[in-house]
Amino acid sequence: MRILLDPTQPFPEDTKFAVSYLRVSTKAQTETGYDEEGLSIAAQREANERKAEQLGAVIVAEFVDAAESAKTADRPELQAMLGFIRELGVISYVIVDKVDRLARNREDDVLINMAVRKAGAQFVSSKENIDETPSGKLLHGIMASIAEFYSANLASESKKGTRQKAKSGGTPGHAPLGYRNVRERIDGREIRTVAVDPERAPLIQWMFSAYATGDWTMRQLTAELNRRGLRIPATKKLAERPLRYQHVDKMLVNRYYIGFVSYEGIEYEGRHPALIDTVTFEQVQAVRTARAAAREKVQKHPHYLKGSIFCGRCRGRFGVMNAKNRWGTVYPYFYCLGRAKKEDCTQSTILIADVEVAVEDYWSRIQLSESRITAIREQVMAALVGRQHSNRAELDRQEKRRKTLQNQQLKLIEMRYADAISLEHLKSEQERITRELAQAQQIIDQCSTEIEAVIKVVEEALLLCANAHRLYLSAPPDVRRQLNQAVFARFWIMDDQVQGADLTEGFAHLLDPGIAAGLTEPSKDKAAKIENRSRPAKGRGRSTGAQRADLELVRPRDAIQRPHGPLPADTTNPGPNRDRGSNVTVLVSEGGLEPPRPIKGTSTSS
């Protein structure tokens, strides 16, 4: 705001006062001349002054919104102008160069006009015949509608150009950390492109490599990057600032770093150089997934067993604490997180070293003898040969399904470009198609996998079981985490010992003594289970003694998973907020929950 005259000073009685409002949309428009304001602001000022002279008015204040869009009325100088004329109450005219300097949509135009009229003033355009006459009001409405159309059309054309740029591999908007937006001149044309930032790119590459090892938490990685000097660059409104771990987490999942660009939820192959190779990127995602699967939060005390060990009494997870005695000696402990919530849990704190040794010893339980490995290998080979013939029909069906889904995906993109569907609908449909494509591809991979490839995977698993204990003892902490999550879903801790464990699904099948029956007759066994569950009970619905004996626990009492028999955690219902439902296979007897009803033709005594 620039005050030119004080309207409270003595003036002739018939003097009319006016204010001048000037606006340009971009900063570039303020850099077009030798003056700081640029040529556009100066031209608008001169036109407004001529208009004021024609009206016989005196401009007492000038308001300039530089580099401000008219899409919204929330502009500092515009709001200051409205407050100024409202407080004085003596302003007759608000002079603008054109209507589009004031607003780019009809709603804001109406609201601003109402505020000006309420203050006792009227709008006047220096280049358009707008006044309070009927024809002037009509012209005002027409020009306001044209301004709104121009703004909407400009946005649509801009979005169309940005979409085409993304489709051709260009970068829409600002490039992420590690890259710089640059301008190059090729054959006399200015090309806006992206180049690698020589200062920040090595830090981004180190960030991915470091996190892929599994040795760094998100907070530690953020602190180290800040220590090495990586910063968020300054913008027009914000100064240079340090990284936060949310920034790091967002960068670690950004596929731009492996050569892809995304616009409107659609991913395209980019022309920019990739900073990160696909292998490292996938390793980073594997670490993030492993920590999410273990529900391990970013904390000060990470440990490779966190997320894998649970209390055998209350099913609570174990956290890490460092206790210090009066001499300053630190003792790291595991403590049961469920004990604070469950009064009946008696699990005390355990030295971390004791738990590590107990888990190491437990790994010896999955050792397989040479004869057992040979038997499993023969059984797997025989099953694969038998299934290969039945997979061909399923493979054809899934191939057709995949082609159909891919065609749907292309049609969706075309419909979005034609504005036939909303962005929300596009995203939801893309998620569905992506999910179904992944399912189809998984089945295709299973059906088309060569016997040699399957045998290779089985051989690797059998090799692990043959040398499990030695391999685990020689593994570093990050590899131990991966081994634990690959083989064991949970270790159940009581006191300072591992009292049981739950195998992951793959190793539960591999180490099952009945693996031969599961491989040779999978369909019959599955059908039999479904038939047994759906068959109604005979008689009056009460389960027999034999049926009650069949109510086995979900966790089998075998030498690997339950070497010491059922745990206290097995005999109590985990509750609705746990990841397991009930701990028994049969939830309700086959007679159901309702009281037995009399069989037709019989009577019951009352």
pLDDT at 8 over 60: yes
* Mean pLDDT, residues 381-394 taken together: 72
- pLDDT value at 208 more than 90: yes
> For 112-147, what is each residue's pLDDT tens digit?
888 888 888 888 888 877 766 676 667 666 766 666
293 vs 485: CA distance, rounded Å:
9
The Cα diameter of the chain in Å comes to: 115
Q: Which carries the bigger pLDDT value, residue 483 or residue 382? A: 483
Is residue 472 within 8 Å of 484, Cβ to Cβ?
A: no
Beta strand 16-23 with 91-96 is: parallel
Burial class (CB in 10 A: 0-12, 13-18, 19+), 192: exposed
Q: Report the C-alpha gap between 18 and 140 in whole angstroms.
A: 19
Domains of the chain, first to last: 2-158 (3.40.50.1390), 179-293 (3.90.1750.20), 305-535 (no CATH)
Partners of 192 in the beta sheet?
Answer: 183
66 half-sphere exposure, CB direction, 13 A CA radius: 15
Residues 461-512 have pLDDT tens digits of 888 888 888 889 998 887 888 888 888 989 999 988 998 898 888 788 778 7
Please state the φ and ψ torsions of residue 59, each to the nearest 5 degrees. Answer: -80, 120
**580 Cβ partners below 8 Å, 6+ apart?**
554, 574
Pairing of strands 16-23, 57-65: parallel
pLDDT for the residue numbered 360: 92
| Side-chain-side CA neighbours of residue 216 (13 Å) | 21
Token reading at 350: 């355990």
Give whole-number Cα distances, 42 to 37, 49, 56, 64, 405, in Å.
Answer: 7, 11, 21, 11, 58
- Which phi-psi region, left, alpha or beta, contains residue 467 (left: φ > 0; alpha: ψ -120 to 50)? alpha
Q: Taking residues 457-461, report their average pLDDT.
A: 81
Q: Helix, strand, or coil here: 5?
A: coil
Q: Please check the confidence at residue 215 and state whether its pLDDT lies above 50.
A: yes
- Among 10-14, 21-25, 300-304, 522-526, the minimum mean pLDDT is found in 522-526
Contact 366/465 with Cβ under 8 angstroms?
Answer: yes
Three-class secondary structure assignment of 375-405:
HHHHHHHHHHHHHHCCHHHHHHHHHHHHHHH
Strand partners, 261: 268
pLDDT at 144: 63
Residue 37 clears pLDDT 70, i.e. is over it: no
The DSSP symbol for 230 reads -
Confidence of residue 345 (pLDDT cuts 50, 70, 90): confident
CA atoms within 13 A on the CB side of 578: 15
pTM exceeds 0.85 = no
- Residue in 60, 85, 73 with CA at minimum distance from that of residue 23: 73
In this structure, of 85-94, 269-278, 389-398, the range with the lowest mean pLDDT score is 389-398
pLDDT at position 590: 56
249 pLDDT exceeds 80? Answer: yes
Q: Say if residue 204's pLDDT is above 80.
A: yes
Q: CA 407 to CA 410: how far, in whole Å?
A: 5
pLDDT band at 583 (very low <50, low <70, confident <90, very high): very low
Strand partners, 239: none
User: 356 falls in which pLDDT band (50, 70, 90)?
Assistant: very high
Relative to beta strand 91-96, strand 122-125 is parallel
DSSP 22: E
The whole-number average pLDDT for the span 420-447 is 80
- Tens of pLDDT, residue by residue over 45-97, are 888 888 888 888 989 899 988 766 656 667 888 888 898 988 888 888 899 88
Note whether 83 and 63 are within 8 A (CB). no
Please check whether residue 314 is in contact with residue 296, taking contact to mean a CB–CB distance below 8 angstroms: no
Mean pLDDT of 151-163: 66
What is the rounded average pLDDT of the residues 446-459? 70
The residues facing 553 across adjacent strands are 584
Signed CA dihedral, 41, 45, 46, 51: sign only? positive
Mean pLDDT, residues 447-469 taken together? 77
3-state secondary structure of 411: helix
What is the pLDDT confidence band of residue 535, given thresholds at 50, 70 and 90?
Answer: very low
Residues 3-12, mean pLDDT to the nearest whole number: 78
Residue 563, amino acid: P
Strand order through the sheet with 318-324: 318-324, 330-336, 350-351
Round the average pLDDT of the chain to a whole number and report it: 76
pLDDT band with cut points at 50, 70 and 90 for residue 358? very high
The two structure tokens encoding residue 261? 């660009």
For residue 579, the SS3 value is: coil
- SS3 for 53? helix
pLDDT confidence of residue 546? 38
